[in-house]
Amino acid sequence: MDKGNLLWIMPLLAASGGIFCRFFKDPRRILIFTCNMVLGIGLLGMLAAAAVFKQGQLTGSAGWFNLDALSAYHLLVLMIVYALSSFYAVDYFAADIRSGEFTPAMAQRYGTLWLASLATMIVVLIADNIGIMWVGMETTTLVTAFLVSIYPKRIAIEAMWKYLIICSVGIAFAFIGTLLVAASTSGIADAAGSRFFSWTSLRGVAGQLNPQLIKIGFLFSIVGYGTKAGLAPTHSWLPDAHSQCPTPVSAMFSGFMLNAALYCIIRHAALTNLVLGTAFFTQTVLVVFGLLSIIIAAAFILSQHDLKRLLAYHSVEHLGIIALGLGLGPVGAFAAMFHTLNHSVCKALSFFSAGRLGQIYGTHDMRRISGALHVSPVWGAGLLFSLLALIGVAPFAIFISELLIVKAAIASHAFWSLFIFIAGSSIIFVGALQHAIPMAWGKPPSLVEKPPVIKTIEVAIVFGSLAMLLFLGVWMPNGFRDVLSNAARIAGGL
């Protein structure tokens, strides 16, 4: 079979699976069905990515879809996050299924939206058309908004509307950026037709595009997609939505949806670099947004009491670190690609742990969560070590990717950026530790319910994720290094 066909099969399969969820009546069967669908689509994604890493790129659907090293790498990260979150969801919702709080209708809606969101994010990654990519990202907002309020509580509905309104405004900015890129083709022969607005075609005529419109278009794009990516100062929807989502959704939001929005920015930046013949303009803008995100996250992390809001601000911090890395040249772009995977796996694990401990303690208030290592050794260890990894403790992989960003800053003589990055990270390090230590080793409250029996799959999720972060922290296989290098080269655009 032509492996290019995998590109349209994957989103079609995910969307079809979402429709099939409407025919199941048993919530647990729906959750298991989503696991099987994600595994099957993940296998197809691995086949497609392997073909890209071997052959260079895949094209499908008469050129409408394209998978190169950058999008293939993000596709693999997407599938890892969805697979972990799907399996975690089965036990996360178990208690609510037994109590009747998670009804069959809610499970049908959850399964449909979960697989639909997977389909739209795949479209964002494989679209070889600037307009389709925007449509895909806009659709992720519409689909995932209703996942925020899957439990129809007042505060969750408020968070959903905040997310929907702010991200819709952001996506409107991204639409203007898309129109400006399209307008930059004015006067070029054979520019008519939507196929001309494929990334491949735009790169082919980069020397003829209007550089001023491209620069302004990039600014609109980074503000627009940056809103969805949670970059400061347009991140305000993120803490509310993350704290009110069911935990598998929080993990998916932070583990990949933010990356998908940043991926759109990377595509616009690469084209802008190619048109201008230099990366100075986009790198400067990315560094500014990255540092601003780190500073604001540092300021808010110190004052948080809700565990999921704390993790949401860590998302702002780490998306800022990725943006900073992208703004520091080729070494920084390599580090940013590495950090993308590290943050996704680590943040998914931290949300999983926060969700299960929240069920055990009956709250996400960190002042009332103490002695987690004693109460639930598996999830307590998951929370403690994922927090340590998030703040850059060695030998976890995040330490290595942040060290590479320091190296990139020194190599590019960006000493002010380096100073702000280290200062912000140091504040976050101290702020996170002051929360993590009492949660892990404090005296457990007397009213904590007896934790449920830990399933094998939960142990595998916790320690498998930690093992991956440790493994990549001490050794990077040559094949994986090549994947990161190729993705970083495409992100640079030059």
pTM: 0.95
Q: Is there a contact between 291 and 423 (Cβ–Cβ < 8 Å)?
A: no
Instruction: Give the residues across from 67 on adjacent strands.
Output: 58
Which residue from 263, 440, 260 is spatially nearest to 350, judged by alpha carbons?
Answer: 440
C-alpha 157/C-alpha 146 separation (Å) is: 9
**pLDDT recorded at residue 196:** 66
User: 340 by DSSP, 3-state: which?
Assistant: helix
Peptide bond into 233 cis (omega under 30): yes
Q: Which residue has the tokens 């084209």?
A: 271
* Amino acid identity for residue 92 in this structure: Y
N- to C-terminal Cα separation, the chain: 33
C-alpha 347/C-alpha 330 separation (Å) is: 25
Q: Is there a contact between 466 and 349 (Cβ–Cβ < 8 Å)?
A: yes
Copy the structure tokens of residue 160. 């959903």
DSSP string, 420-485: HHHHHHHHHHHHHHHHHHHHHHSPPPTTPPPPPPPPHHHHHHHHHHHHHHHHHHH---HHHHHHHH
C-alpha 375/C-alpha 209 separation (Å) is: 61
For the chain, which residues score pLDDT lower than 70? 189-196, 447-452
**pLDDT recorded at residue 60:** 84
pLDDT per residue over 326-343, tens digit each? 999 999 999 999 999 999
Give CA angle at 244 (303, 132), nearest 5°: 110
Q: Is 151 left (phi over 0), alpha (psi -120 to 50) or beta?
A: beta
Give CA angle at 109 (105, 112), nearest 5°: 135
